Amino acid sequence: MNRRVFAIALGIAICLLPLVSNAYWTDVCVSIGIYALLALSLNVILGQAGIFHMGHAAFFAVGAYVTGVCNTIQHIPILWLMPVSGLAAAVFAYLVARPIIHLRGDYLLVVTIGIVEIVRIALLNDLFGLTGGSNGTFGIARPEFLGFRIVKGIHFYYLVWGMVGATLLLFHGLWRSRFGRALNCIKEDDIASECCGIDVSGYKLAAFVLGAFWAGMAGTVYAAKMTTIAPESFNFMESVIVFAVVILSGGSQLGVLVSTFLFIGLPELLREFASARMLLFGLAMMGMMIWRPQGLLPPLARRYGGGLKSAAPDAMKDGPP
């Protein structure tokens, strides 16, 4: 199937969806959008650079809590807090990733799991007396944009999916640049990358910091949408879900969107099967592993000027990182 046609159709469907669906499904799609932001940002780290990072919920939590605390205590408007939260998550990511960035594969994975747990437990213990312990932070204000208050589900829908759209464009640019190529080289062979002049730990760190910035901004939207945030929303399972979304996607941005819909949307669709839904979901995952181990939609070839085609279409057949 032609991916471009599919992408355009998906884009139009996303734009029109809230006009025809009910409030419940609009809400579900808002949370799909937030997960999409998280998964797209994790895709830079995990899908592009091949860094096994299973602690993305930690950066999401930092963003959400910075927003929550600054808004409820200092009453700073939400949209101002979006870059601040992104920056806070990015700084946090830099500090925790700097000493561990040289770790490889599963070793790094274990440390990132540690990070997400440490963050959750710190929040649970009412960090600096600001985070409200297990009750969390509540009464977070709604975002306001030029006097327009974003309150209803449909407002959030367009805010979130607008952000997803901008993210897609910017990250696509990144993928088509020396930055994106460097991350792919690091994923393939980090020693060879270092020896042909790529600052491997610098780029790994940059991928982390960038991904965390985005996760922090997603945290702001989440906090504003929920108005209440609690440590349990940022547990290890959330990290695993986002991780699985990226692995399932195959690494392309379109793949990430599709697999987010499958992962977050499908369980909602299967709700009437009640207890059997996780079973169905598990079967679907097993089917994927058997028939499509390379993921849903692996990235296509990059194109270079003068019709110079880059990757052979089956260049990525070997499966997920």
- Could you list the residues that contact other proteins (CB under 8 A)? 170-171, 173-174, 176-182, 184-185, 188-189, 191-200, 206, 210, 301-302, 304-306, 308-312, 314-316, 318
Considering the complex, what minimum distance in angstroms separates the CB of residue 316 from other proteins?
6
Smallest distance, other proteins to C-beta of residue 184, A: 6
Judged by beta carbon, residue 174 or residue 280, the one nearer other proteins is: 174
Q: 302 is written with which tokens? A: 């990059």
Identify which of residues 273 and 304 has a Cβ nearer to other proteins in the complex.
Answer: 304
The CA distance from 107 to 110, in Å, is 5
Instruction: Give the shortest CB-209-to-other proteins separation in angstroms.
Output: 9
How far is residue 56's CA from residue 38's CA, in Å, rounded to a whole number?
A: 8
Number of other CB atoms surrounding residue 64 within 10 Å: 31
Q: What's the residue count for the chain? A: 321
Closest CA to 245 of 30, 7, 57, 1: 57
Q: Check: CB of residue 284 under 8 Å from CB of residue 258.
A: no
Question: 132 or 251, CB closer to other proteins?
Answer: 251
Nearer to other proteins, 99 or 306 (CB): 306
Nearer to other proteins, 123 or 209 (CB): 209
Instruction: Say if CB 186 and CB 112 are below 8 A apart.
Output: no
**Encoded tokens for 130:** 């600001």
φ, ψ of residue 309 in degrees (nearest 5): -80, 145
**Are the C-beta atoms of 204 and 102 separated by less than 8 Å?**
no
Instruction: Give whichever of 181 and 277 is closer to other proteins, judged by the CB atom.
Output: 181
Tell me the Ramachandran region of residue 189: left when phi exceeds 0, alpha when psi lies from -120 to 50, beta otherwise. beta
Q: How far is the CB of 3 from other proteins (least distance, A)?
A: 18
CB of 311 to other proteins, least distance (A): 5
Q: Nearest distance from residue 18's CB to other proteins, in Å?
A: 28
